[in-house]
Amino acid sequence: MKFTKKFTLLLPILLISSFALAQTVKVKKENARIKGENVEGFEIELDGEYADVNAAFVKYLKGIGKVKQSGDELTVNEPTLENTNYGMPVFGTTKEKGKNTSAWIGIKTSEWPSENVGKVNKELEKQLYEFGVKFYKDKIQLQVDESLRASLAVEKQQQKLVNQNKELTTKLEDNKREKIQLDKSIEKNALEYETLLQKIEKNKHDQDSVALAGEQIKKVMEMHKARQSKVN
């Protein structure tokens, strides 16, 4: 009963979570304050807690290069983009935006060779989009895993109930057989009881008959003794 109530309460949460996570990732151009200056880059807003988004973003950026974090600012040194390694850093940052959290990525274009800026920005936009998609997929996967655990728990409980039903059915059949035997024993006992009553009654009657016969025999014996005493 407790398990059923628990699962009934959990099911709406799982369903609500699955609907809430049907998100679309939109990348937009946005400036961010990096090392005291405005830097052009790209931003996405994600439906997630700041700590979760920040941790996921740091982990994602480590796949690009060597990440160094200072407060909300992330510096990716020696980044590799489209199999090309660059000596200039890529910057990233995360911050709360109402109920959402934004993730931003960009470069200081003035520090990069002009022939690489367009290509790198295009790749950074792509990388940020892929991060957003991965973040939502990973978040949904957590719900999938939770649903799977709930499903396995339900299956386990179902199997437990099936086994319990088999055990109870077996006990019921044993109880039925025992009841039949008991009913037969009670019926036999009742017949034996009546028979014993009849035998006791007959025994009493026989005792009375024997006692009467004994009395009559005594009288006859006394009569014979009286006759005997008269012989001279």
Tens-digit pLDDT profile for residues 26-50: 999 999 999 889 999 999 999 999 9
**Token pair listed for 211:** 């006692």
Q: What is the pLDDT of residue 213?
A: 84
Binned at pLDDT 50, 70 and 90, residue 59 comes out as very high
* pLDDT tops 60 at residue 189: yes
What mean pLDDT comes out for the span 86-111?
A: 95
* pLDDT tops 70 at residue 169: yes
Which residues sit opposite 92 in a β-bridge? Answer: 74, 105
Q: What is the pLDDT of residue 96?
A: 95
Q: What is the pLDDT of residue 10?
A: 53
* pLDDT tops 90 at residue 17: no
Q: What is the pLDDT of residue 19?
A: 44
Binned at pLDDT 50, 70 and 90, residue 1 comes out as low
Q: Which of 142-151, 170-179, 216-225 has the lowest mean pLDDT?
A: 216-225
CA distance 169 to 161: 12
Maximal CA-CA distance, the chain:
174
Q: What is the pLDDT of residue 12?
A: 54
Structural domain spans, the chain: 23-145
CB 132 within 8 A of CB 25: yes
**Phi, psi of 231, deg, nearest 5:** -75, 130
* pLDDT tops 60 at residue 5: no
CA distance 209 to 125: 123
Binned at pLDDT 50, 70 and 90, residue 178 comes out as very high
> Nearest CA to 137 among 58, 15, 7, 22?
22
Q: What is the pLDDT of residue 21?
A: 45
Q: What is the pLDDT of residue 2?
A: 55
What mean pLDDT comes out for the span 152-176?
A: 94
What mean pLDDT comes out for the span 67-93?
A: 95
Q: Looking at the domain covering 23-145, what would its CATH class be?
A: alpha beta
Average pLDDT along the chain:
89
Binned at pLDDT 50, 70 and 90, residue 106 comes out as very high
Percent of the chain scoring above 90 in pLDDT = 72
In the block, which residue shows the tokens 């390694």?
85
CB 65 within 8 A of CB 78: yes
CB 107 within 8 A of CB 121: yes
CB 21 within 8 A of CB 140: yes
* pLDDT tops 80 at residue 16: no
**Token pair listed for 76:** 């990716």
What mean pLDDT comes out for the span 172-201?
A: 92
